[in-house]
Structure 1
Amino acid sequence: MSRPAWSEVPKPKVERFASIALAESGDLAQAILAAIRYDFPQLRLVEDESGEPMALVGIRRAIEGFVQHLASGAADPRVPPEVFQEFGRGEGLNGRSLDSLQAVYRLGVRLAWRRFAEIGQQVDIAAPAMYELAESGFEYLDGLVEQSVRGYAEAAARQASERLRLQRQLIDRMLAGQRGDSAHTLGERAARIGWELPATIAVGVLIRPAREAVAPAVGQGILLDMESEQPRMVIPEPDTAGRADLVRRATTGWSGAIGPSVPLAAAATSLRWAETAVRLIEDGLLPRGEVQHCTDRTEELVLLPSRELIDAAAPRCLTPLQDIPPTQARRLAATLLAWIETSGGATEVATRLGVHPQTARYRLRQIRELWGDAIDDPDRRFEMLLVLRAQRLRGELTTGPE
């Protein structure tokens, strides 16, 4: 930026100003550091290899760089990047915001400007030129802040990466079942990421809607592992009021399943049910586009994964249907299921199937003729109930009219 008033200052005055300022840079840096320590006692100062505070080194270098820029007439002062990036990293690693660091910088610039103004009067530099000097100082401050922001962002990225690594380790250990860590060890691992071990948890398994899908915004209380092929969630105290709604909103557009609420030590059990539900989703037996709660899908989770066993039991349970044409057999099977479920007569069965009562009555007579008294055995009916419900879930029953 052009500085017409400063450019008109005679060179001997500029050199005199720079000479005094550089000679006092060490003392000025000490004074600024003392004021910073007084106003910001919580600020932790890191020392270099010689034992000198890095802040002192940075302040002195900043003063010298700015003054040398004024003396040379260069377009832009060079900000010493290493020290101020380190300041930013220190703020990030200690969990503080950049606001406090910027306040420190503003204090330093204000004190430096106060002394520069005194030197300007001593050398007899005109006021307009000194005003431009002040503007240059605040532009220089912007450069210092920019370097610190870079260091802060770097530290924040490293911290986030480390927290995610520790979080994944904690999730792995919680879900390891009997091979996992003790509650005490898990507590230590959880403390490293600022997470309090809950009494109960539910484990979720997600199916990515797309390879580069943005992670669900589940909040810090819920652990999320996005590195797995199928992302995993650990939901603490899942029965807490509002927790289910939070998860539902955060996972809008995702498919997956959340296992039942279990004690922390049984986390692997919740994971197993969630994985079972996800396999059903992938097989098209549970709907996609939402995250299912396993406790809402008990029938499917009990019957559908047992397909081989159900299919093996079907011929024995439904022997009378084997010699009947397939379409008619499916209608009679649906009627038999409706009769077992309702424990009612033709009217109730007809309503359940959406057919005329006379049709239901005709089918019930056929069922009685086919099974005889065996249909009244409670154990036989229960076994048929399981087989027929599994077939209905798989869409294998026909309920319509003849």
Structure 2
Amino acid sequence: MPQERIQQFADRALAQVPELAEDILAEIRRNHPGLVFIADESGEPKALVAIRHALELFVEQMTTGSDRPRALPEMFQDFGRSEVAQGRSLDSLQGIYRLGVRLSWRRMAEIGQQVDIPSAAMYELAESAFEYLDVMVAQSVRGYAEAVARQAGERLRRQRLLVDLLLAEHRTDPSALLADRAADVGWQLPERVAVAVLLRPALEAVAPAVGDGVLLDMEGEQPRLVVPDPDAPGRAELLHQAVAGWSGAIGPSVPLAEAVTSLRWAEAAVAMIEEDLLPRGRLLHCAEHVEALVLLPAGELIDDLARRRLAQLDESGGPAHTHRLAETLLAWLETRGGAPEVASRLGVHPQTVRYRLRQLRELWGEDLDDPDRRFELELVLRARRLRGDLAPPHD
């Protein structure tokens, strides 16, 4: 196509850019009445300036064959960012782009007929228009994604500040500060919370989808969760579904100001999971493992008590015999029943239990009638069972 005709097309198109930009903006206002248009320093709508600039760049690109100007991507990235700032999705922005391209194409087609642009060349122009639309959308999506990421990052930062405050020791009432930080992330302060500590199944593990109501801090080596109203119906089930595949523990339900107490129990349970003293592969409730949490950390004290209270047992015979007597004694202490009840718990014949109970009475005598001695014996024997030295009850 002669360069002279191309130049005629460009001159006419550029001359009509201001009017076309006004028409496009008016059509956008009609189709999107809820949009707010901000004016620049001169009082002109920024959207009108942007439309005009986009049209000029489009004509320049179509008539010169030059690469897309650098200003184009950045300008449309700003549009995407502004959608996030105004709390809108990209759907409306893409609709506006399509509207603008459709109106622009009609005007360009009219100009093409006026200067006798061949049909084949106009088809190429149409293809370029749709490519231009793709560029606008792609760059706006990029700007939108960047703004969403920044917004999410800022929210996570504020959420971590809230979690840190919740789980800190307080010498004064933190209610006012908690309320301010909770408001920053749109979190309603509950009356009670439970704190969970997790063990990552892998370094690259994706954060569990715990929902907006649960505060999640993934920054540390062991992620932490603050669960509001943990006793609410369905809360435990939803939480277990969200952390499926993770190991960890959730502390007891406590008043909001005592969240650090729930954290301590969860941390203690996780430490025991790491030592293989509690099972892996799921979220444990500390309330269901009180015995282990209380007895196992006091290992040295329990061992000293066992040395003094089980001396008779250790001197009664060989390891196998001692082991059987210990299991029988614990079963009797836990049931305080007769031979049939103890036998059922151990999975042995009642006559065998009667024989062992006579031996136990010979070893401890009247101590077996002393509540304090019985409590101490049960304490040390339960600790041995928790460590795996004694078998769990048969039934």
Report the TM-score, using the length of structure 2 for normalisation: 0.91
**What is the deviation of 1:73?**
4.1
Secondary structure in 2 aligned to 1:267?
helix
Matched, 1:158 2:150: yes
Secondary structure in 2 aligned to 1:235?
strand
Instruction: Between 59-68 and 38-47, report the one with greater CA deviation.
Output: 38-47
**What is the deviation of 1:124?**
4.0
**What is the deviation of 1:272?**
0.9
Instruction: Between 175-184 and 100-109, report the one with greater CA deviation.
Output: 175-184
Secondary structure in 1 aligned to 2:342?
helix
Residue by residue over 1:80-124, the C-alpha shift from the partner in whole angstroms, topping out at 9 and shown as x without a partner, is 122111111111233321111111111211222232233234334
Look up the match of 1:113.
105
AA aligned opposite 1:72? T
Matched, 1:371 2:364: yes
Matched, 1:312 2:282: no
Q: Is the 8 A contact 2:385 2:392 kept in 1?
A: no
Matched, 1:168 2:160: yes
- Quote the Cα distance in structure 1 between the aligned partners of 2:392 and 2:75: 78
C-alpha change, 1:284 and 1:180, in structure 2 (3 Å) is: farther
Look up the match of 2:139.
147
Instruction: Between 213-222 and 362-371, report the one with greater CA deviation.
Output: 213-222
Q: 1:261 aligns with which of 236, 253, 266?
A: 253
- Quote the Cα distance in structure 2 between the aligned partners of 1:325 and 1:254: 45
Q: Is the 8 A contact 2:62 2:128 kept in 1?
A: no
Instruction: Between 249-258 and 71-80, report the one with greater CA deviation.
Output: 71-80
**Structure 2 gap segments, 5+ residues each:** none
C-alpha change, 1:47 and 1:227, in structure 2 (3 Å) is: farther
Look up the match of 1:249.
241
- Quote the Cα distance in structure 1 between the aligned partners of 2:11 and 2:208: 59
Secondary structure in 2 aligned to 1:24?
helix
Matched, 1:27 2:9: no
C-alpha change, 1:398 and 1:293, in structure 2 (3 Å) is: closer
**What is the deviation of 1:70?**
2.5
- Quote the Cα distance in structure 2 between the aligned partners of 1:214 and 1:180: 37
Matched, 1:197 2:189: yes
- Quote the Cα distance in structure 2 between the aligned partners of 1:204 and 1:242: 17
**What is the deviation of 1:75?**
7.5
Residue by residue over 1:279-320, the C-alpha shift from the partner in whole angstroms, topping out at 9 and shown as x without a partner, is 111111101111111111122122222222222322333342
What RMSD over aligned residues (CA atoms) do the two structures have, in Å? Answer: 2.5
- Quote the Cα distance in structure 2 between the aligned partners of 1:178 and 1:167: 19
Q: 1:178 aligns with which of 160, 163, 170?
A: 170
AA aligned opposite 2:11? S
- Quote the Cα distance in structure 2 between the aligned partners of 1:218 and 1:373: 56
- Quote the Cα distance in structure 2 between the aligned partners of 1:160 and 1:345: 64
Q: Is the 8 A contact 2:302 2:383 kept in 1?
A: yes
**What is the deviation of 1:205?**
0.3
**Structure 1 gap segments, 5+ residues each:** 1-7
Q: Is the 8 A contact 1:257 1:293 kept in 2?
A: yes
AA aligned opposite 2:343? A
- Quote the Cα distance in structure 2 between the aligned partners of 1:398 and 1:149: 62
- Quote the Cα distance in structure 1 between the aligned partners of 2:288 and 2:206: 27
Q: How many residues align?
A: 392
- Quote the Cα distance in structure 1 between the aligned partners of 2:317 and 2:205: 49
**What is the deviation of 1:342?**
1.2
Matched, 1:362 2:352: no
Q: Is the 8 A contact 2:73 2:135 kept in 1?
A: no
Secondary structure in 2 aligned to 1:109?
helix
C-alpha change, 1:166 and 1:284, in structure 2 (3 Å) is: same
AA aligned opposite 2:375? F
Instruction: Between 167-176 and 17-26, report the one with greater CA deviation.
Output: 17-26
Pairing 1:387-398 to 2, within 5 Å after superposition: 387-397=380-390
- Quote the Cα distance in structure 2 between the aligned partners of 1:289 and 1:174: 27
C-alpha change, 1:66 and 1:213, in structure 2 (3 Å) is: same
Matched, 1:42 2:34: yes
AA aligned opposite 1:269? T
Residue by residue over 1:1-60, the C-alpha shift from the partner in whole angstroms, topping out at 9 and shown as x without a partner, is xxxxxxx4x443332221111122233223322332343243344555666544333212
Q: Is the 8 A contact 1:199 1:264 kept in 2?
A: yes
Q: Is the 8 A contact 1:330 1:398 kept in 2?
A: no
C-alpha change, 1:358 and 1:204, in structure 2 (3 Å) is: same
**What is the deviation of 1:369?**
1.0
Look up the match of 1:137.
129
AA aligned opposite 1:370? L
Matched, 1:86 2:78: yes
- Quote the Cα distance in structure 2 between the aligned partners of 1:167 and 1:246: 21
Look up the match of 2:325.
332
Q: Is the 8 A contact 1:190 1:196 kept in 2?
A: yes
Q: 2:61 aligns with which of 52, 61, 69?
A: 69
- Quote the Cα distance in structure 2 between the aligned partners of 1:32 and 1:180: 60
Residue by residue over 1:139-185, the C-alpha shift from the partner in whole angstroms, topping out at 9 and shown as x without a partner, is 21111111111111111111121111111111111111325872332
- Quote the Cα distance in structure 2 between the aligned partners of 1:45 and 1:336: 83
Report the TM-score, using the length of structure 1 for normalisation: 0.89
What percent of counterpart residues are identical? Answer: 63
C-alpha change, 1:50 and 1:154, in structure 2 (3 Å) is: farther
